[in-house]
Amino acid sequence: MKSSSFITEELLRRCRKEKANQLQRSRQSFDPASLHDRKELSLLVEQALREGETYTSIARGHTHLGLTENDLNELIGPEDVVRMRIERFQQC
């Protein structure tokens, strides 16, 4: 399955920066902007998973950004956990 590109380079850059600075941020005051960026990325990926994509196909559709499955795991969490969350909310 070939995924079309839906994650922007800017969003991925911001999320990677936020992840890299996570330890430092824990010592600083709360930053709602970084939380918003991660939430935006998570919602986009969740929608793609609902539409039949996988982390592999999402990463392949965003190779021009250097996005990897490992990035998705680190930024959002394991694919199986995200899928379980999607299923749980669909049942509510």
Q: Is 65's pLDDT higher than 90?
A: yes
* 45 closest CA partner among 18, 17, 24, 74: 74
Q: Is 38's pLDDT higher than 70?
A: yes
Amino acid at 41: L
CA–CA distance, 21 with 25 (Å, rounded to integer): 6
The mean pLDDT of 1-7, rounded to a whole number, is 77
Q: Is 25's pLDDT higher than 90?
A: no
CA–CA distance, 51 with 6 (Å, rounded to integer): 13
The mean pLDDT of 2-24, rounded to a whole number, is 85
